[in-house]
Structure formats: structure tokens, C-alpha cells
Structure 1
Amino acid sequence: MESYEEKFNVLNHCDTFAILNRWGNIDSGGNQIQGIYNRDTRFINHLHLLLNGMPLDLLSSSITEENETLSTDLSNPGFTSLNGIKVAAASLHIHRSQFLKDEVFHEKLDIQNYLDHPCSVKLSLVIKGDFADIFEVRGVKRKARGRLMPLTKSEDGQLVISYEGLDHIRRKAIIYFSQPFEADLAHQLLHFPLDLAAKGLGQLEYAIHFEQTGRASQPKIAYGTAKDELIPRLKHKNAYFPIIETSNEQFTHWLNRSQADLVSLMAETPYGKYPYAGVPWYNTAFGRDGIITAWQTLWLAPQLSKEVLLFLAAHQAEQEDKASDAEPGKILHEMRNGEMVALNELPFKKYYGTIDATPLFIMLAGAYYQRTGDLSTMKQLWPHIEAALNWIDNYGDFDGDGFVEYQHKAERGLTNQGWKDSFDAISHADGTLAKSPIALCEVQGYVYAAKKSASYIAYDLGKTAVAQKLKKSALDLRKKFNEQFWIEEKQCFALALDGDKKPCMINTSNAGHALFTGIAYEHLASKLVKTLLHPDLFAGWGIRTLAANEARYNPMSYHNGSIWPHDVALIASGFAKYGFVVEAARLTTALFDASLFIPLQRLPELFCGFERRQGEGPTAYPVACSPQAWSVSSVFLLLQSLLGLEIIPDKKVIRFNKPYLPSFLSWIKLSGIQVDSLRINLEVLRHKSNEHVSIYWNNQPKDWKMEVSME
């Protein structure tokens, strides 16, 4: 089964994305995912290019390496031109160049005549809009919709497709063309006659602006000007990251593609950049996704973590609201635009139904502080960290048993509120679903790490008593967790405790997060690593969300047997923290191998958990988001896990703990890693005779030193 990404091409820029077929068209028949979307609304659901009324023949199409442009090459079928001359097939070359910038879709068409005589042709575009809410596209049925307005052509030659929503917002697609056209408005068909000289070139440019009541319109701008402005912006975003080169060109390409994908998802906000979760379903701010994406890139791009923290602090809940699952101090789950959330048909306009984003927020704050020593930002964030800690103790642990659990309150909110949030994700060994309130395995680890992180920050802010209390609370939780969650007969931590405090005794990938957070006792780590790498969980491409011998296992399910790259990367990080770096390299190799079979080496949100088959790639999950931020950024956490790299600014130390390079990597060069206000360059070499590595400075900063531990 093909994923949508294998059939279509994806362009995205901040709040706008396009899913086009390989011809650069959008087909309203068949797969309903195609279209051009802006702020959770599909404005355009049909876009078709014709030549003399006929479809064109596809030569090739591809997304450029910087991820900004879809380049499509087409040729003509045989036809008779408007001036009566027979034209053989493949006499004309049509090149489509399409990209997005600032909520505008741009296209440039170049038509090259290779005949030695003139040729008159008629290009035609069919453009239609349906203004479907993103949740409608996902399959949610509505009782009523607004009114789609008739297509109009203005006096100055622009085309307007508009929709009057039930929320009283007028949404418009305004299309500007570079030359006059003939319009058949009844059929939404536009004609552009072109007289091509012998060996001559014809061109057409147009731009689709997405506008709605109450939002400022984007100024009209030509294709070339917009393209010239886009490249510097991409370079600015790319400047967040150092340059990474390796001995393996395919691994280097995976790194570069992942960075380009992540950059394409980084939206501008008043607080800096925020990585949107993923295209198509989650092209907006998600708390958990943004935090984990920032965490995975923290060692390389600390500024992104800072801006994620500031954004989430600004949107932290301040009061109780059952309709949105909000409580004071809670961190955002997701924000949405669109007609359905405006009308409260769904609760996701600003929704807080997540159990883990709040402790993860504190974890990221602590990790950012350890990475940068930025005490001024910690002073700014401390009131928000305190509010999050209060939420953990007063709302998260609402039955006072020492564990943080969830029970949804919003009538139309999420039933399960961990990262595995599908309705059937939390079950017992016999397959029965766990009843709430539910205390998830990984969440207890997040809370443990959050309180440890907050204690370090509190000490440095002079809040000694608070720091000591947090440290003790973290240690108490660790003891209680290992005593009550460890299932000796399963050699694994229980997935969760249900509302009766009965453990969900099944083997899942969640247990690996206990290594990532450090809550697992050291003597249990080797047992857990062995369990996670058992063929029931390790499928060859990564670790399944649910073991193959469990009752609800289905490799094609969303959370009960599939493989999620970000999940695998977090587990690999946990392996390395407990000293199992060779095992971490095994997971890295698995995902790298998977990337080689996936278009553009772009790891999707998830893929199916079937066992690896010789000579075949992983089986696609057909509606997985791609690109998705925490999936494409997983490679950076995997690389950090291999290197065991820590940057400790207060001691002016760069530390490598058991660095290890798998056989497919002979060397890695890191250029431009930020330490204090400096940029440093490092080189890691694997010895040919054994698995040991050597590490060299290329520009050692003053007063900094390197520590390398091979034990």
C-alpha cells in the first residue's frame, strides 16, 4: 500500500501547505487529501493544467533539495495547433515551478517550442475551491456548511473564489495572472492563448492569495521577486543549525533532508520560531511535538528550544475550562484555526488535553539551561515552571497516589492523553481497554526528570528550599515507580496503571522512555533493553509500539504495533544514557536503513510494524504525516546518542561519553556548533582496526576543554 507521499508531492511554508500530484495538479476526484490549505482550511481542491484541452504527458517531478519548490517537466501529446498545423508528441516542453511563501501559492509555467516553425496553442487552467475544514477532509461530518460563492472575475483581471462561513468569516482565494485570459466562469475554466515562435519560449505566471475577514492581505508580488525573497529566509532558518558532514553520502543526505524538512515546518511567531507538528493533519502548533522536536535538536540548535519554551509559556493555561481540558499551569496540546473550531464544533481552538506536555516543558527548560547556561531566560520562565509544577502536584496527581494520571473532561476531547492518544492505545493483557484515570509509564518518567530539572534551576536561582523539595520528590517518585510499574515476568515496565491501580501488563515501547528520562533503576536497564530488542518488539526497522505477542497487536494500527521514528530515537537516547551505545547504534542503523527505501529519505510520522523482509523497505502507513517535525528531527538525537555528546557551559567542557560510530560511518565533521557566543568545529574518526574513535578540535575555544570517556 502506497502512502500519500509516494503518490503526491508536498509543499509547505508556515500556515500554508499544498499536496499536489506528480503533474503538479490537484485532482478533486479520488484521493480527497489533495489541495492547497491555509490555516486549517482547504481553499483549493482542484487545479488542472491542459494544453489544447488535453492533459499533458509527465516526464518527471521532484521537490528541490532546499524543499521549497516543486519542479515538474511535462510534454505535449500529439495535436493540431490553433493555426491548423499538426504537432507531433514531445515537440513542446512545459516546465512547472511551484512554491509557497507568506500564505501565497506561486506558479511559473515555461513552454518551450522545439519546432522549427511557429505554433499557436491554448493553455487552460481549471481552478476550483471547496473551503473544507481540515477536520472535514479527515472525515468529520458536519450538520451544515456555509455558502460557496460564484466564481467572479474583477475588472483588473483577478479571479476570486470565495466562501461565506457559518462563523461569518469570508474566506477568499484571489488569483493574480501575469497576462489576460478568457474565462468560462460556469466551468471554472481559464484559457491563455499563446503564439510560440519557432524555437520560442512562452511564459505564464500566477499567484493564489489566501485571505479571510480580519486578517491583513499579502501584497501582490511577482514570482521572481517572491522566489528571490524566499531563499534568504531559508538560509536564515538554516543558520540555526551547524553543518554536519559524514563519510556516508546517504547518511549525510538523510541529515540534510531532515534539516530542510524541519526548516519548512518552522513557523514565525511573536516569540521566535515554532516547529509545526506535520503535514497534512497537524500543520499547527502542538505542545508535545514542539517540545520533543526542540529536545532532539537542542545540542545543535539551542535557540529553537528557547523560542519553543517562550511560545508555550505565553499560551500556558491560567484557569480551569472543562470544554478545553484546561487547568492552571497546564501546557498547550494544540492550537487550531478554521471554521469548525471557531463554531466550537470541536474543542481544539486552544486545547489542553495532554498529560505529558507539562512535565516535558519543564524537562526542556532544564535541558536548555544545562546546554546554554542562560540564567536570564530561566528567570523569565520560572513563574511558568512553578505554575507547571503546581499543576503536576495539584491537578496531574488528582487522586494523591504519587503518580500523574489523566481523565478527560472535555465532552469532545481526547479520551487518551499521552502521546499514544488513539482510543484503543491503552489496554490490558487480555485486550480489554484500561479505564481511567490512567497513569502512563512514560509520564511518570517525564515528571521525575521534570522535577530534577526544576531543582537544578531553582538552586541556581537561589531557591534552595524549593530545589531540595523537588529533588526529594523526584527520588521518592523514582522509588515508587520502580516498585509498582516493574513487571518481573514481563521483564518490562507496565504500560500504565488503570483507575483501579491495576497494571496494564503488556510490552510496549513506552517502557523505553523510562531509560530516556532516567527513572529506571540501573539494575533493571539491561533486562529492559533485552526485552525491547526481542523480535516481538524490534521489527528490524525500529521498535514496535506494541509487542507482536500482545492481544491488540496489529502492525497496521496507529499505536498498537506500528513504528514511530521519534519513539525509536528517544529509546535509543535512553539506551546510550545507560551505557548501551552499541544497542543505540543498532536502532540508528535500523532507521537509517528504513530511510533509504522512503521517498526523499524523509522519515514519516510512522510506518507499519511488519517484520523486516530481505530486499524490501518498511510498509507505509497510508495517511501518515510527512514531513512531521519530531520524525525528521529524530536523526539528530540518534547522532547525539552515538556520540554521547554533552555541552556543559558552566564547566566549559564538551564531553563525549562512550562515543561510537557504526560500521557505515568512518568519520563525522561538525562545523559551527554553538558554545557560549562561539562556533566550534569537531571531527570524529573511527579507527579502522577496532570500534574506538578519536575526536579532534579544529578550532578549540579559549578555556574550553574536551572530556572523552570510553568506559
Structure 2
Amino acid sequence: MRDLVSILDGNTFLVSDRRGDIEPSQDFPTGLFSFDTRFLSKWVLTLDGQRLHALSMDDAESYRTKFFLAPGEPTHYLDAKASVIRSRAIVGSFEEELTVLNHGGTDVEFTVRIDVEADFADLFEIKDSRQKRGTTTVTVSDGQLRLTYRREAFHRETTVTTTAPAQVDADGLTFRIRIARNSKWTTRLHVSSVVYGARGEDIRTTLPYGGSRSANAIRAEQQELIDRAPKLGCDCEPLAGAYRRSLNDLAALRYESIALGVRLIAAGLPWFMTLFGRDSIITSLQVLPFLPELVPPTILMLAGLQGHRVDDFRDEEPGKILHELRYGETAGFEEQPHSPYYGSADSTPLFVILIDEYERWTGDAALVRRLEPQVRAALEWIDTYGDLLGTGYLWYQTRNPETGLQNQCWKDSWDGISYANGQLPGFPRATCELQGYAYDAKIRGARLARTFWNDRAYADRLEREAADLKRRFDRDFWIADRGYYALALDADGRQVDALTSNIGHLLWSGIVDESRAGKVVEHLLGPRLFSGWGVRTLAEDEGRYNPIGYHVGTVWPFDNSIIAWGLWRYGYREEAGLICDTMLAASRYFEGRLPEAFAGYTRDLTDYPVEYPTACSPQAWSSGTPLLLLRVMLGLDPQGEHLIIDPAVPPGMGRVELLDIPGRWGKVDALGRSRGPTDQPDGS
């Protein structure tokens, strides 16, 4: 992903190589995308038939990029008599200004060519290499190239125009130009993508931010959001850089929902530019102390789409919170169940947790009262449909074996849940962190019932159920001879005994018995799980361990932020600080932007964190990670109308000052300072 360049605004994004070219790829979705459809699959520039090479690039802003290019091989740069500048932006549509400069002493003729294709592929078709079922037509008229795709009522269109005269054909645009010595030639290319609705209109134009916008408007909107966040002053440049980058990326990842027309944070570019139950909730928890106003739209969207029936195709059940919402062709024709899809067992308890945490920070009692039916339905789902075997645990097994997700926890790849010897358990499965989330949801639901719904009997019942769950969980999941909690229970109640990062989520939930916490912490920070850059998803001596396996050995920043939060909750402040310190040290190698995941290699083996090859970047809950780490280091915790500040800044980090932290208390400042000399984390 680091060899690719992305720009985005709202619902539209573009991914190209470092020359600005787009070519079909089996490994990664390059192209121009909007609402899960690819509107450009090829966009290749040549000068006199030659591909260009990158000299430099300016991608400081999320919605526009400038490429500086030269023809010929890289070794010929010094002799280049011409150069090219591609300035592009996503401003509702895709616009590119193309400038060719003649550096020679005589007039020169050039042939400039842009090859264009639009395959209108759905993101799921790219992942699965599926063939299109509709029909694409290409028309050329009045200097305009129009590519249209139809499949019954599904209608998408790409139109390419230019300000300079061009020879337009079905495969692209050709410019035959003459440039005087030491002069330049410029044209502006405009690519519009149309998402047709039932009445023949572009559905995006009905949204508040759906039409074309100027670059200044985009910049102003993003800056206004960033300016509302607390101001960070610190001695640690990696922390300062990661904080700035996180706020910029979170501002850029916002998109508009067709369903409600509200601004939400997409889960990640390029695969997940949509609403995800789990990802969106955890990102909301991370950003809550910084930009609480971003949270209510997500809560309301999830509540509005809460399951209300049994639908095997979509894994929908009454009270269940969605996993993923898509707008593409495969969802529209029910070749995929994502309209929306409910295949996650954790988004429902996490929904309850988020609503409670949101009220604790903001004091928004009206929202809690408004959503009482949805919260009750979510808690009811945990004890009914969620308890597939009637054992009092939260289990999962897809209702849709053809297209449903097998693993419906956060480690949702096919091999993400395994025994220590590498074998895979059958279904249903009850992973440990699901029980922690259910426990926490009941505790928090009890607070909401007692404080806002005037239902003490229900609150008492939820607290009894939580206490019973905690007791049974310790009995059934604890592996006494190894000193950690099992990853899961299989359908026969046997322990799935792999050592994983999931046990850190148990600390965050509070389900861990105090007498067990020390052992859990030892394993989390021990050499089997801790790489030196962070906690691995799977211990390095387990059967399926792979340092570059998606959920079986990589290090996930969001996962580590939750673990740090859990360590803080149980009073292990030094250990939490170590996680914070190593994550921030890793961020330096990614220019402040923590990726979705990076390799689990031991730190002394690679000297720098190795990015997972197809990691999303930016990804929302990775962008939210520095924010949650900052909360942990400063010990921020809302208590009634006050914010408790109890800092424990890692050694060498120096001063950390966060000003104007918003909440029900108004705005307050927090200051922490580490002991010992102030040294920058250098990643060594």
C-alpha cells in the first residue's frame, strides 16, 4: 500500500501508483471508486508513447495530490528535455490538471495520451475475480468520452471531458501539441461518476455534501473539524505527529450515508469505505474524548438499522447490530448479503457499551432515553439469539453457509480462531472477548436502566447476570496449567487453547478476576506475544503463527490500544505505557499514520515495523489508536460531572499537555510529565 497513492473526499476515492497511473491489479483495488463501484479501472499517461517516471510527489492533503514526472528511464532524468506535472483532486468529481513543460531550446511537438477504461467492478468482484453480468457501452461525441454500465435497474456512468482539443476514441484521449521553447501546455481533465437512482438522478446530489465542491470548501470543512479537537503540546514528536495525522485522516474518512444523509466515519481505505458495526463503534470509543460530536450519527445509524427479523441470508436477528453496509451491485442483486449484513457477534454488545460511554462523557441523557428500546433489544439478543447453545455464553455460527462470514468476531478471517496445535474448531464458537463484551454491556446496561429508565428491577437483574457470567467464565475459560484464558470454547465446551491478544480485551471489559490479572499481563508483555513493537494477534509458538498472517501473528494498532486501555483499567500503568511507547515508535516508520496491521517480527530482527502487504491505510480504528493511547497515558476517566486526570506518561516522553478536552464538564486541560530524561522514541 505504501507504493500506492490515495486521495479521497466523502464517498469518492482514487488509488493510483506513484506516477498517478491506474492499472487493473489482482492484488489491490486501484481505480476511482464511489459507493463500492469502480468508475475508472485504467488511467495511464504516456508522452510520445513512453511511460513516465516519478521525480517527486506532494500528497500533504487528503483530497489532492501533485505528481512531478519525467519521460524515459530513471537514469536519464538529468537529460530530460521535458517534464510533466499532474495535479489532481477529488472534489465531488475527479479532476486532473495536466501540464507538459518543454525545457529545450527549440519548439517541440509531443503526443500526449491518456488511456481510459472503466470496468464498473464491485469491490467484492475485485476481491473474488468475478465477471460482470451487465453491459458496458462506450460512446464518443463532441469531444466527450462516455462509458455506461447497465444491469437491469443498476445504472452507473463515467464521463471524461477536457478543456484542450483532443482526439477522443473508445480507449482514451490523444493530444497532439506543439510547445514553444521554455514554455508549457496545460489541459484540465474532468471525470464525473454518476450513481443513478430509481428516478434517473445521481443519488449523491440529494445529499448535503454530495455534489461537487471546491478544494477550498473541502479544506475549510476538514480544518474546522480539526480545530475543534483538543490542542496537544508535547515534547514527543512521534506523539505530536501521530496526533496530527490521526485528526487529518479521521476528517478525511468521513462520508455521507445514503440511508440517513448524515456524516459517518468510513472504516478504511480502500476495502472498507462504508459503515461497519464493530469498526465504527470502536473508532467512536477512541475519538469520544476528542471529538464527541462525531459519535451520535454512528449510534443513530446503527440503531436505525438494528435487526428486527430472522433473515438467514443476512444473518439478521431481532436486536442484532449490523456488521457491514454496502451499496454496490453484488449487494443490490443479493449476490452478497451486505444490504446490510449482520454477521458479527460483537457489534451488539459493543453498541450498548458505546451508548453508555457516550453518556458518561457528554451527559446526553436525551439520547439514552430515546434509544431505550434499541438498547433493551440488544441486551435481549445477547441472552437469546446470541446464546446459540443455551449455556449462558455468546456464540456465533452463520445462518448463511454460502456467503456468510465463518468467524463473526474481530478476527474474522477463516483461520483466525484455532487451537494451539493449529487445528480449527467446529461451529458454533464462543470466543473469550465476546463474553467480556457481554459482561461489560450488562454492567453498563444496568447503569442506564437504573439512572435513566427508572427500572431498578431490570438493573438488578442485569448485574446478577453479569456477576454469574464472570464467575462461570473464570471457571470455563481459565487454563490453569498455562495461566491464561482460552481463546474460545468449541461446540462441545472444550477450550480452544491458543494464546492470543484477545486476552487483552478481557482486561478492558473487566471480566478478568483480579487474582488472574497479573498472569494475563505477563503473557501479554511476554516474548511469545509481545514483538517489541506491540502485542501480536497470535503467540509466536502457536501452530498457525505467521508474522505476516492477517489475524495469526501480525500486530494490529487498534488491538493494542484496547489492550493498553485494559492494562490501565487494572492498574498496570507502566505496562500500558510500554504499549503506548512502542506504538508511537512504530508510527514514525509510517509517517505518523499507523496502518491496519504490520508484521509480528521480533523488533531486533527487522529494526523497523514491516507493513502488512494489503493493509488499509488510512483505517479508522488505526487512526483512532493514538487518541486512545493519549487518553490512557493521561489517565482520563469521566466520573459524574468531572473528568478524572491521573497521568502516567512513559519514561523519556517528557511533557504531554492536552488543552480543552470537551465533555459534560465543559472543557478542561490535562498535563502529564514522565520521569527521567526526555528522549524521543527512536524506534531502535
> Offset at 1:606?
1.2
Q: Are the aligned partners of 2:11 and 2:256 in contact in 1 as well (CA < 8 Å)?
A: no
Cross-structure match for 2:671: 683
Change (3 A) 1:356 1:31: closer
Cross-structure match for 1:612: 603
Q: Does 1:359 align with 2:349?
A: yes
Count of aligned positions: 665
Distance in 1 between residues matched to 2:497 and 2:25, nearest whole Å:
46
Q: Are the aligned partners of 1:240 and 1:303 in contact in 2 as well (CA < 8 Å)?
A: no
> Offset at 1:211?
1.0
Q: Are the aligned partners of 2:91 and 2:212 in contact in 1 as well (CA < 8 Å)?
A: no
Change (3 A) 1:689 1:29: closer
Amino acid at match of 1:380: R
Q: Are the aligned partners of 2:280 and 2:298 in contact in 1 as well (CA < 8 Å)?
A: yes
> Offset at 1:239?
4.1
Q: Are the aligned partners of 2:235 and 2:678 in contact in 1 as well (CA < 8 Å)?
A: no
User: 1:274-673 maps to which residues of 2 (within 5 A)?
Assistant: 274-411=264-401, 412-461=403-452, 462-598=454-590, 600-613=591-604, 616-648=607-639, 650-651=640-641, 653-657=642-646, 659-673=647-661
Q: Are the aligned partners of 1:75 and 1:89 in contact in 2 as well (CA < 8 Å)?
A: no
Q: Does 1:170 align with 2:161?
A: no
> Offset at 1:356?
0.3
> Offset at 1:340?
1.5
Q: Are the aligned partners of 1:647 and 1:655 in contact in 2 as well (CA < 8 Å)?
A: yes
Secondary structure of residue in 2 paired with 1:350: coil
> Offset at 1:113?
4.0
Change (3 A) 1:330 1:194: same
> Offset at 1:583?
0.6
Summarize deviations over 1:75-94 as a string: whole Å, max 9, x none.
3459xxxxxxxx99434342
Cross-structure match for 2:682: none
> Offset at 1:463?
1.9
Q: Which moved more, 1:273-282 or 1:612-621?
A: 612-621
Cross-structure match for 1:161: 147
> Offset at 1:656?
1.9
Summarize deviations over 1:464-523 as a string: whole Å, max 9, x none.
222222122212211111222111212111111111111112211111111011111112
Q: Which moved more, 1:638-647 or 1:609-618?
A: 609-618
Q: Which moved more, 1:299-308 or 1:262-271?
A: 262-271
Change (3 A) 1:586 1:32: closer
Amino acid at match of 2:148: S
Secondary structure of residue in 2 paired with 1:674: strand
Q: Does 1:226 align with 2:211?
A: no
Cross-structure match for 1:241: 229
Secondary structure of residue in 1 paired with 2:520: helix
Change (3 A) 1:148 1:664: farther
Distance in 1 between residues matched to 2:417 and 2:46, nearest whole Å:
51
Q: Are the aligned partners of 1:108 and 1:205 in contact in 2 as well (CA < 8 Å)?
A: yes
Secondary structure of residue in 2 paired with 1:429: coil
Q: Does 1:134 align with 2:120?
A: no
Distance in 2 between residues matched to 1:191 and 1:498, nearest whole Å:
62
Secondary structure of residue in 2 paired with 1:24: coil
Summarize deviations over 1:448-470 as a string: whole Å, max 9, x none.
11111111111122222222221
| Deviating 4+ runs (over 6 angstroms) | none
Secondary structure of residue in 2 paired with 1:173: strand
Distance in 2 between residues matched to 1:160 and 1:108, nearest whole Å:
19
Distance in 2 between residues matched to 1:690 and 1:593, nearest whole Å:
14
Change (3 A) 1:294 1:386: same
Summarize deviations over 1:536-566 as a string: whole Å, max 9, x none.
1111111111111222222222111121111
Cross-structure match for 1:266: 254
Distance in 2 between residues matched to 1:682 and 1:497, nearest whole Å:
42
Q: Does 1:54 align with 2:50?
A: yes
> Offset at 1:180?
2.6
Distance in 2 between residues matched to 1:663 and 1:614, nearest whole Å:
24
The TM-score, its normalising length taken from structure 1, stands at 0.89
> Offset at 1:684?
3.0
Q: Are the aligned partners of 1:43 and 1:173 in contact in 2 as well (CA < 8 Å)?
A: yes
> Offset at 1:285?
0.9
Distance in 1 between residues matched to 2:563 and 2:204, nearest whole Å:
44
Cross-structure match for 2:185: 202
Amino acid at match of 2:431: L
Q: Percent identity?
A: 35
> Offset at 1:570?
0.4
Amino acid at match of 1:292: I
User: 1:30-109 maps to which residues of 2 (within 5 A)?
Assistant: 33-64=29-60, 66-77=61-72, 89-102=79-92, 104-109=93-98
Distance in 2 between residues matched to 1:240 and 1:380, nearest whole Å:
27
Secondary structure of residue in 2 paired with 1:6: coil
Q: Which moved more, 1:480-489 or 1:438-447?
A: 480-489
Q: Are the aligned partners of 1:271 and 1:307 in contact in 2 as well (CA < 8 Å)?
A: no
RMSD: 2.4
Change (3 A) 1:668 1:405: same
> Offset at 1:46?
0.9
Amino acid at match of 1:53: G
Q: Does 1:190 align with 2:190?
A: no
Unaligned runs of 5+ residues in structure 1 are: 79-86, 692-711
Amino acid at match of 2:70: S
Q: Are the aligned partners of 2:163 and 2:188 in contact in 1 as well (CA < 8 Å)?
A: yes
Q: Are the aligned partners of 2:654 and 2:677 in contact in 1 as well (CA < 8 Å)?
A: no
Q: Are the aligned partners of 1:406 and 1:437 in contact in 2 as well (CA < 8 Å)?
A: yes
Q: Are the aligned partners of 2:489 and 2:496 in contact in 1 as well (CA < 8 Å)?
A: yes
Q: Are the aligned partners of 1:47 and 1:125 in contact in 2 as well (CA < 8 Å)?
A: yes
> Offset at 1:686?
3.5
Secondary structure of residue in 2 paired with 1:551: coil
